Amino acid sequence: MGEPLLLVRDLCIRHRSSGRQILDHVSFELQRGECLGLLGPSGAGKSTLARALLRLLPPALWEVTGSIHLNGFNLLTAPEGEMRRFRGARITLVGQEPELALNPVLTVGTQIEEVLRAHFPLTANQRRQQAEEALAAVGLPDPRFFRAPIQELSGGERQRVVLAQALAVRPALLILDEPTSAVDTITQAEVLELLKKLRDSLELALLFITHNPALLSGFTQRALLLHDGRAQHVEPFGAALENS
């Protein structure tokens, strides 16, 4: 298999003021292009883990120990400037509510261009072109979307824009944190279909966070179940989850 894309060893996360141990020696790895499910009830620390992987937990509030290696590069000890270049470019996060993840005063196109600008030295034309390509890749090829304020988009369209934003810089690892919790079931099915297509065409590795194991079908046979801060490797469709 070679060196894994993401290697997490003995990750512990503690909330400093309350002293609560959110994660307790969690270890897992993820190969290039592979998908891993992250299951568990709400409050199990799934989203906290996701934010820790991008080193987005403010160190004043959270104590994070252990190691997180991406391509052999230790994310926990890297200087902030290095980390910022990784964040979004190599490892990216799509959160729960697309309604809230988009800036209400910027147009769709600008929001995608902003991410490109953060990582690539591009001319304005190149940037625009790549942003349009990213929108087309998520099924929004109509150039009118580019100039549209986000208020004019439906929930499903916003979800797609968020994906375009995350994938415009071609990251190697996409973390999905309950990506469909805010859309209806039909939109959910469409978004999942799109995600499968994107994973195949971009050779994306996915860390798929959800409380519903059925969403992982077609994505992976391998999942991590978080419970009381401990992680347990499970088959997402095995007996361990029948009761949840």
Partner 1 sequence: MSSPPLLSVQGLHKSYRSPKRPFHAPAVLPALIDITLQLASHSTLVLVGRSGSGKSTLARCIARLEAADSGAVFFAGRNLMHLHPRELKPIRRELQIVFQHSATAINPLFTALEAVAEPLDVQQIGHRRERRERALEAIETVGLPRAWAHRSSLEFSGGERQRLALARALILEPRLLILDEALSGLDRVTQNRISDLLHALQQQRSLAYLFITHDLQLASRVGRELAVMEHGRIVESGPVAAILAQPQSDAAAALVRAIPQLPGTSPSLTA
Partner 2 sequence: MPFLLRRLLRSLALLIGVSFLSFLLLDLAPGDYFDTMLLNPQISPATVAAIRSQYGLNRPLPQEYWSWIRSIGRGDWGYSLAYNLPAAPLIWQRARYTLLLSGTATALAWIAALALGIWSSARPHSWIAALVRTLEALLMAIPELVLALSLLLIAVWSGIAPAAGASSSISALQPRSLLDLARHLLLPCLSLALGLLPLLLLHVRSSMRQALDSPFVNAARAYGIRPARLLFRHALPVAANPLISLFGLSIGLLMSSSLVTETVFSWPGIGSLMVTAILDRDFFVVVDCTLLAAIFLLAGNFLADLLLFLQDPRVRAS
Q: Would you tell me which residues interact with partner 2 (CB under 8 A)?
A: 51, 54, 56, 60, 84-89, 92-93, 95, 97, 100-107, 114-115, 117-119, 149, 151-152, 162, 165-166, 169
Identify the CA nearest to 82 among candidates 55, 111, 115.
55
Residues 112-171 that bind partner 1 (CB under 8 A): 144, 148, 152, 154-155
By CB under 8 A, tell whether 187 contacts partner 1.
Answer: yes
Which of 107, 110, 212, 220: binder of partner 1 (CB under 8 A)? 212
Decide: is 213 part of the binding site for partner 1 (CB under 8 A): yes
Q: At what angle do helices 185-202 and 155-167 cross, to 10 degrees?
A: 20
42 binds, among partner 2, partner 1, none (CB under 5 to 8 A by kind): partner 1
Q: What 3-state DSSP class applies to 95?
A: coil
3 sits near partner 1 (criterion: CB under 8 A)? no
Among partner 1, partner 2, none, residue 93 binds (CB under 5-8 Å by kind): partner 2
Name which of residues 42 to 71 contact partner 1 (CB under 8 A).
Answer: 42-43
Query: Any residues with CB less than 8 A from the CB of 61 and at least 6 apart, and which?
Result: 15, 16, 17
Q: Is the Cβ–Cβ distance between 90 and 49 less than 8 Å?
A: no
- Interhelix angle 155-167/124-137, rounded to 10 degrees, is 130
What 8-state DSSP symbol labels residue 26? E
Whether residue 28 contacts residue 4, with contact meaning beta carbons closer than 8 Å, is answered with: no
Q: Which residues bind partner 1 (CB under 8 A)?
A: 41-43, 144, 148, 152, 154-155, 181-189, 192, 211-215, 217, 237, 244
